[in-house]
Structure formats: C-alpha cells, structure tokens
Amino acid sequence: MKLITNEIVSKFENHPIGSQDGKGLDAEVLVKYFNPCGAGTWLITEAEREGDDWRLFGYCHIFEWEWGYLMLSELESLRLPFGMTVERDLYTQGDTVRDFLAPEELR
C-alpha cells in the first residue's frame, strides 16, 4: 500500500510543522498509519518536506501515547512478519486525535 498519495501531500502542505500548536487532542489527524500485526499507531497532524522525504509530527503509540517526530521513510522501511508493511487507514478524514482515543486514554 502507498503510504502517501497526492491528497495526503496536499494535506501535508497545508499543515506544516507547528501549524496546529496548542490544539492538543483537538488537532486534526491528516493521516493514520498503523502496524497491522501488532503495536504501532501514528496519528499524523503536521508534516514538512525534507528533500525527497517528509518529516511527520503527531500522536504516536508503541508502548504509550506520546507526541513525536518521525520520517515517512522510516515507516516505509519497516518490515513486519509475514512480509507485511505499515498500512494507511483509508477511512480517516476530518477526525481529531481525540476521536481515536478510548475514554480511559482521555483522562
């Protein structure tokens, strides 16, 4: 699966790093990436092009939720069991970070 499309590039260009500062859990999620085999969810809220790559910022979960940066190429290079790769949620559109969290995670 392609992790980036023309539509996602447009969203990234309209939401550079720092553009959603102060919104916290009410920041718009531009794209959700996830590990289909286990732990790993990345709710991307901002992005900036760096050469041929993209620096992403968002609310990420491996062991616990935290805000952080990563490169798109890092997600693309992950090789998972059974030949799988990181996937893109096809149905994320206009949601906020808060919309993806369970009630106990909002405390």
Give me the residue spans of the domains in the chain.
6-91
SS3 39: coil
Report pLDDT digits (tens) over 63-99: 999 999 999 999 999 989 888 999 999 988 889 999 9
Report pLDDT digits (tens) over 24-73: 999 999 999 999 998 899 999 999 999 999 999 999 999 999 999 999 99
Q: Distance of alpha carbon 44 from its chain centroid, rounded?
A: 3
Q: Are strands 65-71 and 87-88 parallel, antiparallel or unpaired?
A: unpaired
SS3 16: coil
Strand stretches in 1-107, DSSP E: 31-34, 41-50, 53-61, 65-71, 87-88
